[in-house]
Structure 1
């Protein structure tokens, strides 16, 4: 009896499922669109034969099986709903029953739809067919982003019908994206991610977000915040979406031949003249980031009076390897010949004539605001694009602890390894003292406690050796890794939550001018106003080993500094 009852219940459940499936199949979205199309077509049919043909048509899934597009088989069922794409009677119809604009030599039976529009060709509902599923990486492309698909078959020069694509390609050069990013056979950048296949990997929304807020998907990104108009951003996204590896008209052999030729090419040598340097600065649109005269990209340091602070040799060396001077620099290594770098150096060396204002307040506005901000909080116009970030003068704990001599030296000689230039080349000793007094009174404020007397060793008493470095490395991984990172580059897992950010201890320019005594003090007593705690629990030997590890990581060696001055 129980078996019969169970069998009856199972049969009833199966019957319910079958009825539900049948009901759902008769109520599917595409059936409604097809029936609507036939009803409208019947009303507009002008002959009896046409009406008979429509009456004989049934509701069915229409499927195009396509090949020859870099895939073994592409399935498009788009015309299951879009019945009127090739019917001239539906020019004024509403989607999905609307005539597709005519594109010569683009037959639907041969090309299908998703090769241009993206979306999921196998989908039979609007949600799935248009790729609205968050896990589908190729959602339907709307105008103007659909222009990106034309580049699959029509590489440069792009078609006149794709103005956004052409503009985006030009903007890729204008904003110097090519300096940081590589695209096969197009650009050689090494600082940022390779964009050869970026259009196939990411959706439109992700590309837009990455340009609008580079830190949205990677808090440690060094990509600058570009202040570009919305129309430029849209065009650039169209171009990036077109980057899907190789085009459909390039065979692997041709592509490899082009790639080999591109890799073997050498940058052009130029005459060593100021005029040539001026031309290179203009042609490479340096003002996309920098300020030079009245033009200002609002992303990078002011070059208007660079010659007051740097000479041609320094500028050329900085162009050759920006991170050799400023470890955290996000300036790309441009594809310049040695003569081109020297020519730019000659031109920028001529950019002098800085007239120093009279009062400390005016001096701060002219020399410091761009980085440190009008409120002295380190949030100047270009601060987010500098690493390390400019100091926050409102940090009372730090600046009331900092010795005046160090602040004076930073203003006078600059801070190696950072964007801070040597203002001692344009300011007198009296002006430097007056400027720091203004900063202290205007932004730091608060009572300044007396510094407690500290006995610090002038030099590390622990002998520098491979064994000491390894012991220091072990201690570093246990105590320091969370903030300074495994390599000591200031990019530990806790770093994004700390301001100021942890120091990059691998920076050779910076560490070369830091004395052992200063490192010892920071380890033992910590650094007020920062995330650096006191590690006074460490033994003398452990501190010495840590210093030796840092010296090894920064390639400053055991005798690279003496009393804080580079030898």
Structure 2
């Protein structure tokens, strides 16, 4: 296929648009006519047969595997002009950096073209249901996002970060890849991108089979509002969980760090910083199930906690994880300190002696750009008390910000007491922002990397109210 100059290609596109706009352009219910249309119109830019070629030998993306690649609703929206441009700098950016507008047709005609593409333009290399996402979780999607960034994929592909476009716009955007691409095609493409576009700058990443699953799942769900993430803590494993079995698992695996009775005094504890959580002083029955599941199944690092906490999911299996969490929730309810805590305010240590490490230079001089308006304070309160992930702040810092939350007594060093004005007046906005975003090494304070900048600032506004 010839690589036409940009000006000539624009003429082809213009002619196509005019053809689509003619009165009475409606096909009969005849697949052959749809095929003829595709062969006469679409192939002026796209190939629908042949072997994979370099982008630099093509006019537009190949469509010979479009039926395996694209979801039907997206195809219809694309053909009717209801989808955003996916090549921000044009497919052939070496010839022009201005993206070209795709011709449009009526919805009725677009549906016929989409049906034909889904039926006939199939890639035998893409196996149906080659990846199962029925048990794909929201946390796994975040793992996939991290791997996508870690393996430099955002050098060419843009994704949304903190509500803004992030990454290089050289190749196709991934803002709503889950609405556009099928999961099976994403998996096959990720396995070996040059199989589809050789000699075009496509990158082969050194990623494990599990990592491939995470990245594929991330791309297959990104922007797809209809996708429902699996919530394992609502599964049959938890309905059938047995505390007696969980006690045995705790003794076999957990007590080496957390101690036989949850006192944080297992044989490994003496060499660990931060120290293992003291479960016997924590009200684990008040912790959200998703947090407990994620920290046990995927490990401390997965939720911004200590990397010394292993990921037990592969070892214990789904039922084992459910059993040990059930045992922990039934056994560890905070002891005497939690029994005395409800309704009391300002009981935390003040001043609080700490040697917290200073945050990096990029955070150090930040100033809160937001004003303590009722709306911002309400948003901060929602995050602190309920919505922040991986866990609501009050679980450690307490509902009143005094460091006496359900998990506070079992943490060493103890959580920050935000009610202590003597301490809080010396902590800058930048320090609070950096600790919230990156966590605090040597403590149990996790990183809240998923919060948007505005949310972090709203949270800081609310936190400062405790000492005012």
Please confirm whether the aligned pair reaches a TM-score higher than 0.5, indicating the same fold: no
Larger Rg: 1
Q: 1 or 2 for the larger relative contact order (CA 8 Å, sep ≥6)?
A: 2
For normalisation by structure 1, the TM-score amounts to 0.27
